[in-house]
Structure 1
Amino acid sequence: MTYRLLLHSILALGLAAASSLALAAEPHAFTATYAVSKDGSPLGRATVTLKPAGHGQWEYSKHMQGTSGLAAMLGANLAETSRFRWSGDVPEAISYDYRMDASIKTKQRHLAVDWASRRVTVDEGKGAQTYAAVPGMVERNTTALAIGLALRDGKHQIELPVAVRQEIEHQQFKVAGKEKVSVPAGSYEAVRVDRTDADRGFSAWYVPDRYPLPVKLTQHDGGDLTMELVSFQ
């Protein structure tokens, strides 16, 4: 091999390695806003943020305020806050707090992971439950982010260990194809992802080369809840 060919090969390998590192890079801090509707009627607006929390941890939060319809009448507000650490490109859970406030009821959940003992503790105010932690596990709030990063890395079938109330669920997701979607943020040729291991309908549309979160998400459990991207910064 000549010197020129050897140099060309070294440069090509270096570019390939750099591309691989860029593909697996952690996302930057961001703020995304979504319009939320239920059964086709406006419900409110959700704000999703990702920011560093220090000591190698990150905070991922979602806040939704009911501004229309029954949600506004009930003064409904939802807050979800997650702490995690990166395990490769997976947001591995450290803690998760959920709180829903309305004039008729309040619901909350606290989840914490002790990685030294590999135990998960979940408390909804009626006594704590514990179960074994699984490396690479996420929780309900960070699932959408984990799916987006897996799609960015070229995966078409995704399995995520998700910490829920009493156990780890190994949730299955699959790319169903590409579809054109229009949301307040714009029109996109998006990748549709469906959950395949549950009867409850879940579909999300991603543009993985632009955003780590879906531009549109629908959940059919308990009514047709839809979130559509308004802005991403």
Structure 2
Amino acid sequence: MLGVLATGTAQADVTDTFTANFDVHRGKLALGTTAFGITPGAKAGCYVYTGQARPNALVRLFLGDVTDESRFCIEDGVIRPQHFRHHIAGDEKKSYTLDFDWSAHEVHYRSEAGKQDTMTLPERALDPLSIHMAARQWVDEADDPETLGEADFPMVDEDEIKTYRLRATDGGDIQTPAGRYDTVRVDRVDDNKRLTFWLARSAEWIPVRVEQQKDEDGIFQMNMTALER
């Protein structure tokens, strides 16, 4: 979800700086806003990817602001998370950090409530934010994204390591408050709860719409309202 306009012979890249803003709905019910952005990290080849969810007044009665931050580096084309933080205001049990030690092939989980665990890392693994970057990179590197088929993406989710299987297909034209975009659709297909991203061809594969089914209460939808690149 990044992008600086290319000039001369330079080409835009999925790690270019950007900020994208979204509104969030469940059906016709407005829930609040979300913003995602990426900036360069302290070292070359490293980045900071952040997400900030701000519930509206009604939702705030039940849920505080949510802040996510992923610090990752790209080594030989592979995304290597270094540190991830998930924080929900007022909820220590569901707020946690992940610290990745690739030399020891371990990831350390710590919740703000004091729970800790150490897990063995597979050869490749992502965190809940850097998996967005990995999906964009996967589509970006394909000659024809619509023929990619399916691929597995291991991810550390709190104190578990899961594997997301993603499928890429043509997403068609998507109308959002930020404009109309020709897209590739990426679906999670290993779980019966829906998770779909529409990635914009003309904006370095930044998601312009996301839909997720969290429970039986319906589909949550995010639509991009503004993009700064």
Does the alignment reach a TM-score above 0.5?
yes
For residues 111 and 31 of structure 1, the distance between their equivalents in structure 2, rounded to whole angstroms, comes to 24
Name the structure 2 match of 1:178.
Answer: 171
Give per-residue Cα distances to partners, 1:127-159, cap 9 Å, x unaligned: 211111233321112222221121111252232
Name the structure 2 match of 1:225.
Answer: 220
Name the structure 1 match of 2:43.
Answer: 55
3-state SS of 1:120 partner: strand
Q: Could you tell which deviates more after superposition, 42-51 or 72-81?
A: 72-81
Q: Could you tell which deviates more after superposition, 179-188 or 208-217?
A: 208-217
Give runs of aligned pairs for residues 152-171 of structure 1, distance below 5 A.
152-154=140-142, 155=145, 156=148, 157-171=150-164
Structure 1 vs Structure 2 CA RMSD: 2.3
> What is the deviation of 1:209?
4.0
- The amino acid of 1:160's aligned partner reads F
> What is the deviation of 1:87?
3.0
Q: 2:103 is matched with which residue: 94, 98, 116?
A: 116
Conserved 8 A contact 1:32-1:231:
yes
Matched, 1:135 2:123: yes
> What is the deviation of 1:188?
1.9
Higher relative contact order (CA 8 A, sep 6+): 2
Structure 2, unmatched stretches of 5+, are 1-8
Name the structure 2 match of 1:210.
Answer: 203
For residues 123 and 87 of structure 1, the distance between their equivalents in structure 2, rounded to whole angstroms, comes to 26
For residues 73 and 207 of structure 1, the distance between their equivalents in structure 2, rounded to whole angstroms, comes to 34
> What is the deviation of 1:22?
5.5
Matched, 1:87 2:75: yes
Name the structure 2 match of 1:64.
Answer: 53
> What is the deviation of 1:177?
2.5
TM value normalised by structure 1: 0.81
Structure 1, unmatched stretches of 5+, are 1-18
Name the structure 2 match of 1:78.
Answer: 66
> What is the deviation of 1:200?
1.4
- The amino acid of 1:96's aligned partner reads F
For residues 148 and 192 of structure 1, the distance between their equivalents in structure 2, rounded to whole angstroms, comes to 11
Q: Percent identity?
A: 18
Of Structure 1 and Structure 2, the greater helix share is in 1
For residues 87 and 61 of structure 1, the distance between their equivalents in structure 2, rounded to whole angstroms, comes to 20
- The amino acid of 1:120's aligned partner reads V
Size of the aligned set, in residue pairs, is 210
Name the structure 2 match of 1:40.
Answer: 28
3-state SS of 2:135 partner: helix
Name the structure 1 match of 2:4.
Answer: none
> What is the deviation of 1:184?
0.9
Conserved 8 A contact 1:92-1:138:
yes
For residues 229 and 26 of structure 1, the distance between their equivalents in structure 2, rounded to whole angstroms, comes to 17
